[in-house]
Amino acid sequence: AIVGNPNSGKTSLFNIIAGTHERVGNYSGVTVDAKSGHRQHGNYELHITDLPGTYALSPYSPEELYVRRHLVDNTPDVVLNVVCASNIERNLYLTTELIDMSQRMVIGLNMYDELQRNGATLDDDMLGKMMGVPMFPVEGHKGKGLEVLLDTIVAVHETRDERVRHIHIYQGIVEESVMVLNKQMKEHREELPKCFSPRYLAMKMLEGDEE
């Protein structure tokens, strides 16, 4: 599943990956849609869904609901999180939510050429290791970095990528409450939805997230 902020260039990347093998689908009662497609890569046929652009995974907009429901109902083997390299601080908020959900993930730093044109540099290898998520530059409109991206998605799926590790995003003044609820929820793990970690559910409870 391809997840990212609006205007992150994820649909351009999807179009390059899927070529003409795409179709549009939607959930009943939701006024947004997603494209799905496929591509042969090595011994794998990759089934790819380009989800609507969203800034968060809260239940406050149709796009947010759509993306979260897709991750629940059609839990992907790997999430491709497309991040606009030239606007990384805002884009990484969604990334931290995906980490909290315990999604297996690869980050594609799109529009990397814009960051370079602005004279900025980014140690993407170090940042990826710190976050426990493989991360590297791509240029969706040119297809640059595509083969490395697809190889990494396969490696993450096969649990061969040594950069992958699970971290916790520190929640500031509510961290103590998150830890208490997380501990209690872990004791009843078999009763909870398997698509979410107990820690993520603890945070949603504290937020008053009814869904």
Please tell me the predicted confidence (pLDDT) of residue 28. Answer: 52
Q: Which residues pair with 49 in a beta bridge?
A: 36
Judge whether residue 26 has pLDDT over 70. no
Judge whether residue 207 has pLDDT over 80. yes
pLDDT tens-digit map of 135-159 = 989 886 777 888 999 999 999 999 9
The b-or-e profile of 93-107 (16+ CB within 10 A means b, else e) is: ebbebbbbbebbbbb
Cβ atoms < 10 Å from Cβ of 78: 17
Judge whether residue 27 has pLDDT over 70. no
Q: CB within 8 A of 116, min separation 6: which ones?
A: none
Instruction: Work out whether strand 105-110 and strand 44-50 pair parallel, antiparallel, or are unpaired.
Output: unpaired
Percentage of residues in the chain with pLDDT exceeding 90?
Answer: 55
Judge whether residue 89 has pLDDT over 90. no
Q: How confident is the model at residue 43 (pLDDT cuts 50, 70, 90)?
A: very high
- Round to whole Å and give the CA distance between 52 and 31: 11
pTM: 0.89
